[in-house]
């Protein structure tokens, strides 16, 4: 299941035939594949990205252009495209095809070069109890908290790079708050020593040394929020708005001082209570601080609860409360995902390694019961892990209900209407 660098480069070089290579997607996947291609001396043209904040800027010392600026009849004569977007590969491929590009001749998916993405959940703890997250309804006895030791992380990353040498980026989170890890800077430093870029996320409610963390120069910070003022605390449960706001300003100031190249984006979760004036005020704040804002439809994060609901179980009380606040009703979201049940599961491309070095069957499930593909990452081959995942009862049940498309259903929703000022809807 591993992809040697030489065979991946042969695939790319044969397809590109000496043309400049452009990476469509300036996010974590695009930057990671750029990291590896640059190390292999591939002739890179730059990035293509539809997000306005990227266009006209430089990223990794390469230009970023709107796809509309470059997708024309003469483009493919001297250029080649790698599509590097997790949820939107099909949509981008359709745009490439509409512009006259031919798959495998003028463009490739980054997953053809790098079949596996990796999340290493270095923190098994979180300081919040957000009601849409399974931590609000699961006890610590059901999922033991802890932190991945630095030496364990080093061994994990060594094995990742050995088995998947085209991996140029990893995310250091899934269910935990990585800012709580006391050795986060050392973890980032070791990843950099292996040529791997790091993405971290945070709720920015933890009393930690943000300057020390940013000095380690993580490449990407994703910040979650779900409302303005008191509304923020409704769904970011146990979070405190004044603490969040102060830490957001602190992190953005430190970024300018220490690490201006770090990508910072606020994922603003759209609930019934968080639309309207809150979105507008948050957008103004993000513009003031110079960070990206991405309004997204909120959904029940744990597929444990969604699968249980499909199988006739009642939602846990926190999840029930969150479901009543969703802009897209849970039943409607499930119905839409079932219409795409014939599509491949995006989550199968990502291998989630927990803080205790166990490997999840699926990164979108929290509860460990029936969700362990390998109890010990170090004693399982990549082939064995993937085989165990696709043949698992959990995977069969999930795909049987079509909810392997549930998360991507919400990710693909056009949030512009919900996030627009009320008078413009």
Over residues 352-367, the pLDDT tens digits come to 999 999 999 999 999 8
pLDDT for 421 = 54
Domain boundary among 68, 94, 113: 113
Same domain, 91 and 126: no
The answer for residues whose C-beta is within 8 angstroms of residue 197's C-beta and 6 or more apart is 28, 31, 32, 35, 168, 169, 170, 191, 219, 220
State the CATH number of the domain containing residue 285.
3.20.20.70
Same domain, 146 and 195: yes
Tell me the backbone φ, ψ of residue 174, rounded to 5 degrees: -155, -65
Same domain, 251 and 317: yes
Same domain, 84 and 145: no
What is the Cα–Cα distance from 180 to 175, expressed in whole angstroms?
A: 12
Over residues 141-161, the pLDDT tens digits come to 567 889 999 999 999 999 999
Does the pLDDT of residue 92 top 80, yes or no? Answer: yes
Domain boundary among 83, 113, 143: 113
Same domain, 102 and 144: no
E-state strands within 115-231: 117-120, 169-171, 197-202, 220-225
How high does pLDDT run on average in the chain?
90
Same domain, 299 and 382: yes
What whole-number percentage of the chain has pLDDT above 70? Answer: 93
Tell me the backbone φ, ψ of residue 21, rounded to 5 degrees: -100, 125
Domain boundary among 59, 78, 113: 113
Same domain, 197 and 240: yes
Same domain, 75 and 212: no
Same domain, 151 and 274: yes
Does the pLDDT of residue 423 top 90, yes or no? Answer: no
Strand partners of residue 202 = 223
What is the Cα–Cα distance from 360 to 174, expressed in whole angstroms?
A: 11
Q: Is 46 left (phi over 0), alpha (psi -120 to 50) or beta?
A: left
The tally of domains found in the chain comes to 2
Task: List the domain range (segments joined by +) for residue 65.
Answer: 5-113
Same domain, 80 and 177: no
The residue-averaged pLDDT of 83-101 equals 87
pLDDT for 111 = 86
State the CATH number of the domain containing residue 72.
3.40.50.20
pLDDT for 88 = 80
Query: Helices 303-310 and 330-339 sit at what angle, rounded to 10 degrees?
Result: 90
The residue-averaged pLDDT of 288-302 equals 93
Same domain, 201 and 80: no
Same domain, 253 and 366: yes
The residue-averaged pLDDT of 227-236 equals 96
The neighbour count for residue 39, using CB atoms within 10 Å, is 11
């Amino acid at each position: 299941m591993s992809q040697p660098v030489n065979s991946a480069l042969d695939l790319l070089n044969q397809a590109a035939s000496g043309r400049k290579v452009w990476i469509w997607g300036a996010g974590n996947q695009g930057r990671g594949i750029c990291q590896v291609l640059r190390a292999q001396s591939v002739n890179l043209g730059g990035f293509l990205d539809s997000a306005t904040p990227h266009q006209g800027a430089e990223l990794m010392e390469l230009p970023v252009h709107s796809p509309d600026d470059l997708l024309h009849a003469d483009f493919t004569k001297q250029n080649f495209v790698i599509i590097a977007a997790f949820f939107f590969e099909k949509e981008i491929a359709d745009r490439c095809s509409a512009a006259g590009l031919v798959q495998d001749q003028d463009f490739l998916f980054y997953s053809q070069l790098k079949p596996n993405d990796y999340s290493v959940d270095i923190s098994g703890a979180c300081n919040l109890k957000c009601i849409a997250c399974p931590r609000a309804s699961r006890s610590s006895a059901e999922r033991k908290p802890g932190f991945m030791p630095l030496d364990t992380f080093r061994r994990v990353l060594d094995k990742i790079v050995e088995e998947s040498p085209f991996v140029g980026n990893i995310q250091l989170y899934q269910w935990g708050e990585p800012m709580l890890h006391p050795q986060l800077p050392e973890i980032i430093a070791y990843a950099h020593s292996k040529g791997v870029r790091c993405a971290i996320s945070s709720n920015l409610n933890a009393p930690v040394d943000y300057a020390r963390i940013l000095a380690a120069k993580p490449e990407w910070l994703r910040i979650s929020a779900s409302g303005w003022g008191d509304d923020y605390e409704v769904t970011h449960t146990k979070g405190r708005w004044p603490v969040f706001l102060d830490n957001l300003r602190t992190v953005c100031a430190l970024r300018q001082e220490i690490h201006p190249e770090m990508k910072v984006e606020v994922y603003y979760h759209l609930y019934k209570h968080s639309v309207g004036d809150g979105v507008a005020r948050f957008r103004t704040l993000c513009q003031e601080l110079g960070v990206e804002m991405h309004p997204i439809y909120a959904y029940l994060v744990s597929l444990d609860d969604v699968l249980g609901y499909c199988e006739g179980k009642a939602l846990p009380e926190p999840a029930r409360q969150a479901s009543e606040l969703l802009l897209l009703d849970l039943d409607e979201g499930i119905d839409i995902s079932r219409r795409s049940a014939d599509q491949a599961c995006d989550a199968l491309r990502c291998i989630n390694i927990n803080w205790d070095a166990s490997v999840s069957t699926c990164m979108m499930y929290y509860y460990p019961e029936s969700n362990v593909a390998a109890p010990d990452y170090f004693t399982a081959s990549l082939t064995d892990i993937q085989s165990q995942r696709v043949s698992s009862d959990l995977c069969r049940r999930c795909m049987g209900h079509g909810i392997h498309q549930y998360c991507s259903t919400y990710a693909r929703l056009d949030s512009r209407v919900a996030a627009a000022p009320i008078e413009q809807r």
